[in-house]
Amino acid sequence: MSSPNPVTAGTVLVLNSGSSSIKFQLIEPESGKSLAHGLIERIGEPEGRIVFHHTAGADERNDAIADHRTGLRAVLEMLEGLGRPLHEVGIVAVGHRLVHGGKVFYEPTLIDDDVVRAVDELSILAPLHNPANVVGMEVAREELPDIPHVGVFDTAFFHGLPPHAATYAIDRDIAHKHDIRRYGFHGTSHEYVSGRAAEFLGRDIADLNLVVLHLGNGASASAVAGGSPIDTSMGLTPLEGLVMGTRSGDIDPGVVMHLNRAAGLKVDAIDDLLNRHSGLKGLSGVNDFRALLKLVGEGDEDARLAYEVYVHRIRKYVGAYTFELGGVDAIVFTGGVGENNVDVRRDSLSGLDRLGIVVDDARNTADDDGERRISADSSQVEVLVIPTNEELAIARAAVQFARR
């Protein structure tokens, strides 16, 4: 890859190690300017994809990425190509997106060995994500040992969910002993997008009821009243809620017992089935939404059903949260699918005129990747597309914490 210009001082390196991908950005947190960013995806698959954007342009290649450690090494090597050794490019903090903080972590946290161990122990609640987060912390701390590393937790925004929304109706003593409650995830994105939606509308967030739909390989919905979440679709783990790339979302718990008794599957096999081989992948054979739509276009009936199940679940949550909020001012789409797929946005909200929700087809299909309104002028409810920027939110949280 070519060598772009050197970066300036006062930057934050943000690492977002997901279940099958790594996003990274080098950001000036005060201005919000991204000096370099990229994506490594399809980790562990026969052919991975690496995209790197920098001041001199962009590079892209397909290459097998065996695991997250290999991927993170590649990230650091690409950043070395910015013109100086990585430890000299002015990084003042490294911000890590961490998925599950349990009851312990709900604020930005300075990462040390104890935090790494605690996040690793919480992997039992987020088996797709926390292990990748741990590798990210380990490798980055090895490479940048003299820079503060700050963890920002996906669960933090939902820490204050009302008790009636956070509580599962199981034996209270067992729930208390094992910290069983609904934690919620994608919180950094939901919080950022809610704030941006209020700014876009020119309104005080304290006066807004929002339904936020974060749709990507992982997917979640939230009901936000006055800037605070009152409900969200994910629960104890990121498995609950909407249909996702490889996760089932909502499922009758009886399915777990049935698979154990009738199919002889042990708990780890069922865990693997529901987290890694369900959702769109379980129904159609693919979890990438672009690949799914290609199959739909070719007339694949399994892919068509997978798409319809996906949209059906979104509609259920939109309806439930609209009712729970007592009315909604705006529905906001974000995430890779939410920001880019016109069909999902249209089909998720079609036929809801009686609820005051009308999507304008021309606005929805317009070639625009910025913040935008896609609702019709006649719509009583605003429908917005707000690109998420979890990395910027993490960078700002990290640098504030590191300067204390």
CATH of the domain at 51: 3.30.420.40
Q: Are 138 and 214 members of one domain?
A: no
Q: Are 145 and 227 members of one domain?
A: no
**256 part of a folded domain:** yes
Q: Are 244 and 117 members of one domain?
A: no
Q: Are 104 and 216 members of one domain?
A: no
Residues forming the annotated binding site for ATP? 23, 214-218, 288-290, 336-340
Mean pLDDT taken over the chain: 92
Q: Are 85 and 216 members of one domain?
A: no
| Cα distance between residue 382 and residue 211, in whole Å | 10
pLDDT tens per residue across span 300-326: 999 999 999 999 999 999 999 999 999
Q: Are 145 and 212 members of one domain?
A: no
Across the range 338-350, mean pLDDT stands at 98
**166 part of a folded domain:** no
Question: What share of the chain has pLDDT > 70, as a percent?
Answer: 95
Across the range 217-222, mean pLDDT stands at 96
Q: How far is CA 282 from the centre of its chain?
A: 20
**303 part of a folded domain:** yes
**3 part of a folded domain:** no
- Residues marked active site are found at 154
> Where residue 345 falls among pLDDT bands split at 50, 70, 90?
very high
Domain boundary among 153, 173, 190: 153
Q: Which residues contact 301 (CB under 8 A, 6 or more apart)?
A: none
**275 part of a folded domain:** yes
**Of the candidate ranges 84-88, 144-148, 317-321, the one whose mean pLDDT is the lowest:** 84-88
Q: Which residue has the tokens 């204050």?
A: 160
Full residue range of the structural domain in which residue 40 is found: 11-153
Across the range 99-115, mean pLDDT stands at 94
Q: Are 235 and 299 members of one domain?
A: yes
Q: Are 144 and 218 members of one domain?
A: no
Q: Are 132 and 230 members of one domain?
A: no
Question: How many structural domains does the chain have?
Answer: 2
**Residue 390: helix, strand or coil by DSSP?**
helix
pLDDT above 60: residue 9: no
Per-residue model confidence (pLDDT) at position 85: 61
Residues forming the annotated binding site for Mg(2+)? 16, 390
Residues forming the annotated binding site for substrate? 97
Q: Which residues contact 51 (CB under 8 A, 6 or more apart)?
A: 38, 39, 40, 58, 59, 60
pLDDT tens per residue across span 160-204: 999 999 999 999 999 999 999 999 999 999 999 999 999 999 999
Q: How far is CA 304 from the centre of its chain?
A: 24
| Cα distance between residue 222 and residue 233, in whole Å | 6
Contact yes or no for 68/22 (Cβ under 8 A): yes
Give the pTM. 0.88
Per-residue model confidence (pLDDT) at position 1: 41
Q: Are 144 and 28 members of one domain?
A: yes
Per-residue model confidence (pLDDT) at position 163: 98
